[in-house]
Amino acid sequence: MPSVKPRKIHIREIATAVAFMLVAVVAIGRLFYLQIVSYDRYKNETSGSISSETGIKASRGLIVDANGVVLADNKTVERVFISPADMKSDAERQLVADNLSRILDVDYDTIYEKTLKKNRKDETVKKNVEKEEADMVRAFINKYSLESVHLVTSTTRYYPFENLLSHVLGFVGSDNQGLYGIEYQYNEYLTGVDGKIITAKNGLGQDMPYDYEQYIEPQNGYKLVLTIDQTLQSILEKYLEECLEESGADNRVTGVIMDPKTGGILAMATKPDFDCNDPYTLDEKSQKKLEECEYEKGSEDYLKYNTRLLMDMWRNKAINDLYEPGSTFKPITCSIALEEALVTHSTAFYCPGYHRVDGYGIVRCHKTEGHGALTFDLGLQQSCNPVMMMTAERIGEDTFYDYYEAFGYTSLTGIDLPGEAAGIFHSEKDFNNVELAVYSFGQTFKTTAIQQLTAVSSLANDGNLVTPHLVKRIEDDNGNVIVDFETNIKRQVVSAQIANEVMAVLEEGVANKLGSSNAGVKGYKVAAKTGTSEKRDKKDKEGGYSLRVASCISIAPADDAAVSMIVIVDEPTLSREEGSMIAAPYNSKIMSEVLPYLGYLPVYSSDDEQYKSVAVDSYEGMNTEAAKEAVRKLGLSAEVIGEGGVIRAQMPAAGTEMTVKGGKVLLYATDDVNEKTVTVPDLVGKSVTECKELLSGRGLNVSLLGTPSDSANCYAVKQYPEANTKVKEGSVISVEFRIVELDDHSLLSE
């Protein structure tokens, strides 16, 4: 027995040791699992409870024009937030709510409710706080040594040019997210990645040593480089504003300037527009509609109507609205016929003033008495509807529809803006001879301005149809190119030869006053086509169908196109409604500034000499004979007033533009200048010759604007200064002329 007892003790010791070893192994294994294997997991799970994060906003990417001019920028602002967890008493809560509500113009109760969230470390009081208010908040914090009120720097979107390019740029929301336009379309690229500061806390909520702080740097958004040229955009907007005022367009005006060879949009605008910095304020006309509406102010219907007006104001008319292109479509019909060798430029037609369409009846020409005998080219230049219909009959329904698709009318252009509208057109199975007839001159189907411009611009690009686009490339902060957008040629619709021939016909029409003459620019080769379409889906105030859309497409230089442009005037009310009379003159005005800006110099033909203008030099301080000779070198006559040998004053002033033929400069060679005043005559409705005679008879000079011509159908439409104004003798009176042309706006009637 004694020999057995020690053995039992030994076994127990061993068993106990083994047990302790097993426990130790399990414990060590568990610690290894928790601290090594699952370290990242538990670190992430616990970091939220032992750390405090402060967000650092990334800057939104800039938007610049093709020359680097900043169109959408960022400005520094601050976010004011409170930490209810750090508030020591209700008195402090009331103090904070009272002062911040007054400084930041935020409701007291709203702030006080936030102070009661005692477990919260970050409750925003106000975003996008400007420097003046932010400094007042700092002064308040310092005055009371508060640890519960904080400011953090961030950025907000800022548009330096306010209304410029508003329908293209769009705007952002309160969190700097793109809501409209380019800002929305490219939001993914423009939005950066926010950074943050992570500070560790101990169990008492106090900061732990510096080693526990982590700074994650924000990554700014990418920069967009647009194809837009800010100078061209300013030119376009200036004249669209003038066009809107003159026409009284009830449904807005729009215009686009494009590089026809690349599809790059150089300028795009709609008027009225809005301030990108303040997009929720209605334009003047829309505000008037709101004030005159039948709804009670503040009511649900009133607020809904306000929202509808805002949505209408934000619509980019160039891509969101549909219209019937009218005669601006005729170059398409003609190019199809020439490409298929169904006509030649000299093919003879006869227009009696109408054309009979089987299954429908008579469709009239805009010239109701008829054009008579004319060639195919003249049919296009003089916008003859019967010639287009007879040409379309030669083309046939199937072939015409194939080309209609090829020119892009049955699909979107693919422009990089949100909300591009799809056209309205007949399906191929429903496309019969009646549709063929009226489509030939651009009626009963609907398209967008950008689609129409893109289709016609293919004729200025050797027949190649391209994708219009607004973004040239995307860059990072260091200028590295992230995405480069190259020219996208979809297809060649017609041959280069035919495209160039159609362009030449259009240019000849402008140059020889055969059609679209008001779109011409003195000294330049301009190809153009005007159009006036009826609105058959909308009644006027009297319940009739008198509403019109006037438009014009022009391309220059016609023999080597650098720019193509469209201007659309929707429902003009204060002027003549034809595209040739209200849209074309503004194409001319815009082109007259665009082409010199792009480096194209005018070359005057002999026909232009009688309308040539010059800028008067400064002759003050010159001796009399030298001054007279300098004036004569400009082609002007000079009259010296006074006996002195030195010129003391002159009229017109230096730099004034005036027409050379018949122009006179008054040179005052005396210190006693007694300038005579005369009354400006009423020139509106007068011919060029009549205007010159009336002005010269009163000792006044003239500057001929627009499309002056000696033809009987050219007359003055505007003058400055206005009639009956008193001016100094020798002053220059600016007179704008337009040639009366007719477009296809009386259709489908017996």
Closest CA to 509 of 584, 611, 404, 609: 584
Closest CA to 660 of 632, 624, 681: 632
The C-alpha atoms of residue 717 and residue 522 are separated, in whole angstroms, by 18
Measure the N-to-C terminal CA separation of the chain; round to a whole number of Å. Answer: 137
Specify the higher pLDDT residue, 533 or 1. 533
Flag whether pLDDT at 49 surpasses 70.
Answer: no
The C-alpha atoms of residue 587 and residue 685 are separated, in whole angstroms, by 22
* Domain ranges across the chain: 5-37, 52-226, 320-599, 607-739
For residue 506, the model assigns a pLDDT of: 97
> Residue 63 in 3-state DSSP?
strand
The C-alpha atoms of residue 231 and residue 381 are separated, in whole angstroms, by 32
Note the pLDDT tens digit of each residue in 676-731: 899 999 999 999 999 999 999 999 999 998 888 887 788 999 999 999 999 999 99
Confidence of residue 9 (pLDDT cuts 50, 70, 90): low
For residue 10, the model assigns a pLDDT of: 65
The C-alpha atoms of residue 220 and residue 217 are separated, in whole angstroms, by 10
Query: For residue 460, what are its two tokens?
Result: 């200025």
Q: Return the minimum-mean-pLDDT range out of 466-480, 532-546, 630-644.
A: 532-546
Closest CA to 343 of 502, 465, 460: 502
Instruction: Give the pairing type, strands 70-82 and 677-679.
Output: unpaired
Sequence letter at residue 641: I
The C-alpha atoms of residue 396 and residue 443 are separated, in whole angstroms, by 17
For residue 2, the model assigns a pLDDT of: 47
Flag whether pLDDT at 629 surpasses 80.
Answer: yes
Query: For residue 201, what are its two tokens?
Result: 């806390």
Regarding the domain delimited by 320-599, which CATH topology (the fold level of the hierarchy) does it fall under?
Beta-lactamase (3.40.710)
At the fourth CATH level, the homologous superfamily of domain 52-226 is Penicillin-binding protein 2a (Domain 2) (3.90.1310.10)
3-state helix, strand, coil in the chain (%, to 5): 35, 25, 40
Confidence of residue 498 (pLDDT cuts 50, 70, 90): very high
| Phi and psi at residue 170, to the nearest 5° | 80, -145
The C-alpha atoms of residue 254 and residue 232 are separated, in whole angstroms, by 14
For residue 601, the model assigns a pLDDT of: 87
The single residue listed with the structure tokens 């009987």 is 712
DSSP 381: H
Specify the higher pLDDT residue, 206 or 598. 598
Confidence of residue 218 (pLDDT cuts 50, 70, 90): confident
Q: Return the minimum-mean-pLDDT range out of 22-36, 117-131, 402-416, 430-444.
A: 22-36
Q: What angle do CA 629, 635, 638 make, to 5 degrees?
A: 50
Note the pLDDT tens digit of each residue in 231-280: 999 999 999 999 999 999 999 999 999 999 999 999 999 999 999 999 99
Cβ neighbours, 10 Å, residue 199: 16
For residue 670, the model assigns a pLDDT of: 87
**Are 422 and 292 within 8 A, CB to CB?**
no
Percent of the chain surpassing pLDDT 70: 90
The CA distances from residue 433 to 356, 441, 443, in Å, are 11, 13, 14
The CA distances from residue 226 to 408, 475, 562, in Å, are 24, 11, 18
Q: Return the minimum-mean-pLDDT range out of 7-16, 531-540, 584-593, 659-668.
A: 7-16
Closest CA to 364 of 389, 393, 328, 331: 389
**Are 389 and 360 within 8 A, CB to CB?**
no
The C-alpha atoms of residue 437 and residue 178 are separated, in whole angstroms, by 45
For residue 746, the model assigns a pLDDT of: 46
Flag whether pLDDT at 456 surpasses 60.
Answer: yes
Identical fold for domains 52-226 and 607-739, yes or no, is no
The C-alpha atoms of residue 472 and residue 66 are separated, in whole angstroms, by 8
For residue 183, the model assigns a pLDDT of: 97
Mean pLDDT computed over 269-296: 95
Q: What angle do CA 598, 602, 605 make, to 5 degrees?
A: 160
**Are 665 and 638 within 8 A, CB to CB?**
yes
Sequence letter at residue 717: V
Host H or E run for residue 128? strand 123-129
Confidence of residue 438 (pLDDT cuts 50, 70, 90): very high
Instruction: Give the pairing type, strands 548-556 and 527-534.
Output: antiparallel
**Are 373 and 407 within 8 A, CB to CB?**
no
Query: For residue 50, what are its two tokens?
Result: 């032992």
What is the number of alpha carbons within 13 Å of residue 650 lying toward its C-beta? Answer: 24
Question: Order of strands, edge to edge, in the sheet holding 195-200?
Answer: 51-56, 195-200, 214-216
Regarding the domain delimited by 607-739, which CATH topology (the fold level of the hierarchy) does it fall under?
Trypsin Inhibitor V; Chain A (3.30.10)
For residue 4, the model assigns a pLDDT of: 46
Question: 97-134 burial string, b = 16+ CB within 10 Å, else e?
Answer: bebbbebbebeeeebbebbeeeeebbbebbbbbeeebb
Average per-residue pLDDT for the chain: 90
For residue 92, the model assigns a pLDDT of: 93
The C-alpha atoms of residue 401 and residue 645 are separated, in whole angstroms, by 76
For residue 534, the model assigns a pLDDT of: 87
